[in-house]
Structure 1
């Protein structure tokens, strides 16, 4: 994340630590979580969903060109900046796998996990295209297509495939077509992973007329422009009571020695 220089990925500038905590200094995105907006509106129309999906496609284009698989796409991991552009955050499951390589770690949010991850067949960049289709469905309806009472039931529903899902009428013909092409059971058949790469997604009929160049240059006007009153206005985020967790013990294990000199923690980070 610290190495990334993409307009659609939240910047990580520095990290710090003290004897009890590790801190990450991130780019501030005061528009709040996309999930919060989706929750309040119930679902998005084609225009908003198209814009949000396009921002994710640009982020994936950057990551996948560097053979990095993201593996944790969901509305909670998408932030809006003060202008309304969508940025990817939280790289806890991201991994540089190398060209043509696979990885076998079981990870991700249950509703977004691709079939090959569930079946432990190894997965690669194509797992991100599956999750892109799931994101589209959730943005257009308010909930992901595969939902069970617990993770195991969710996985069983996923393995039945996207064709077993009844699409609500509010999902347009071409949006449905794109979702189904992204959520093919076979990773090799997913749009974005074919010979045309991400260009196949950008040229799909659902994106017809979309200004990709305007988006890349951030000259396109976002469909949701958050109200941000100042550089420290956090009103677009949900507020929670302060954590009552016990203070952790000092960590003197030296696990981070290979990362170089430990920076002293600025006093303001403790508050």
Structure 2
């Protein structure tokens, strides 16, 4: 004998996150019209429900408990039912009672993106950047896994001196909230617009800071994939702060992936060729940024007769010195296996002869002191904070 009542209903929820597959014709069209892309990962998420007419049987309770320990993404199940839009973002985005967002004083909107807005807020005398995202838009774009990875990576890696920290994040019924440290100096992009070409000493310092951040991420099993001046903020002393991990992905060092994403001007040739690629694509992007800082121009490229594979890179004529040219040629090598793609190798090249990387880690040198001919106010008072949201290629 056993229970004769109706069995609990089971809701089969299809995969929330899908794998975004870019097809040939659409890829060519979108590469010409969009500068950035979003990568997605697949994940299955299920919602548990039960009959409200009677308690679960003892067998059902035992099976539910075991499933949360053995099946992936089942740990978000609770004995009390939650809505689909809440369960999708658990456990990375916890559910908090009350309106926590009301504790932050809104100091104004500073950016708008595809999924929501970024605000400058204040709490107990401290200023933060609050990103408010729409759950419905994220689910519609199949970006649940992407947003969860973004906040997890920033939370784990945010203690690095050149990466923006993410101290708080939570969800309400309709929105996600991500609180990051507010960086008052603006973007590296604005600095390049003001000066066009930066002094070699400052370029050497900025490349070193970015290389330290990339090396830390790569050793932590993260590939960044969207390094560009718009994603590099400057603090009040001019030190870099890496933001926006929307295209980042957990990838063990030495492993490869195939997702086509990034910002077109900074995408490595192996990504454009639809080949498998690894962490070396971040060092290519660093080379493009270094070229911009040294010459004020992007490098040009030459392709094979079919126009499908990049053969070589041509640097602008006005490269300051031999050491700078050697740095760019090493970072912008079209063959990933021959490209400079480690901090240890970077420290040995002529460009960094007699350079102390330990002083860079400790921020003993202030970048604003290396900008001659301009008052410090002009360097640190940029046009606000801009944390861009990327679109799909």
Q: Counterparts in 2 of 1:209-248, with a 5 A limit? A: 209-222=354-367, 223-224=370-371, 227=377, 235-238=381-384
Between the aligned partners of 2:318 and 2:279, the Cα distance in structure 1 is: 31
1:131 matched residue in structure 2: 285
1:63 maps to 217
Aligned to 2:261: 107
Residues 121 and 185 of structure 1, relative CA distance in 2, 3 Å threshold: same
In the TM superposition, residue 191 of structure 1 has moved relative to its aligned partner by 1.3
2:119 corresponds to? none
**1:33 CA drift (Å):** 0.5
* Number of the residue aligned with 1:249: none
- Residue 340 (structure 2) pairs with residue 187 (structure 1): no
Equivalent residue number for residue 35 of structure 2: none
Q: How far 1:226 sits from its partner (Å)?
A: 5.2
Cα deviation digits, residues 114-150 of structure 1 (max 9, x gap): 1110111111111111111111101112232148xxx
Q: Which runs of 5+ in 1 are unaligned?
A: 148-155, 229-233, 241-271
The answer to whether 1:205 aligns with 2:350 is yes
Structure 2 distance, partners of 1:219, 1:52, is 13
* Equivalent residue number for residue 161 of structure 1: 312
**2:205 matched to which residue of 1?**
51
The change in CA–CA distance for 1:142 and 1:21 in structure 2 (over 3 A counts) is: farther
CA contact (8 A) 2:219 2:253 kept: no
Gaps of 5+ in 2: 1-153, 302-306, 387-393
Q: Secondary structure at the match of 2:161?
A: coil
Shift of the alpha carbon at 1:19? Answer: 4.2
Whole-Å separation in 2 of the counterparts to 1:214 and 1:166: 30
Q: CA separation of 1:203/1:218 partners in 2, compared to 1, >3 Å: closer, same or farther?
A: same
CA distance in 2, matches of 1:169, 1:158: 26
State the Cα distance separating 1:157 from its structure 2 match.
9.5
Inter-CA distance 206–12: structure 2 relative to 1 (3 Å threshold): same
Q: Does residue 1:3 correspond to 2:156, yes or no?
A: yes
SS in 2 for 1:16: strand
Residue of structure 2 aligned with 1:33, choices 187, 201, 217: 187
Where 2:156 maps in the other structure, the secondary structure is: coil
Q: Which runs of 4+ in 1 moved over 4 A?
A: none
Change (3 A) 1:239 1:169: closer
Deviations 1:160-213 (A, max 9, x none): 421xx1422243211111111111111111112xxxx32110221111222211
Larger RCO, structure (CA 8 Å, separation 6 or more): 1
Aligned residues, how many?
Answer: 222
Residues 13/158 of structure 1: CA separation in 2 closer, same or farther (3 Å cut): farther
Mapped partners of 1:132, 1:202: distance in 2: 15
Match of 1:14 in 2: 168
Query: Does 1:174 find its partner at 2:323?
Result: yes
Residues 39 and 142 in structure 1, CA contact (< 8 A), matched pair in contact too: no
* TM-score where L is the length of structure 1: 0.75
Higher-Rg member (1/2): 2
Whether the aligned pair in 2 keeps the contact of 1:101 and 1:124 (CA below 8 Å) is: yes
* 55-64 vs 79-88, greater mean Cα deviation: 79-88
8 Å contact from structure 2 (residues 170, 176) kept in 1: yes
3-state SS, counterpart of residue 291 of structure 2: helix
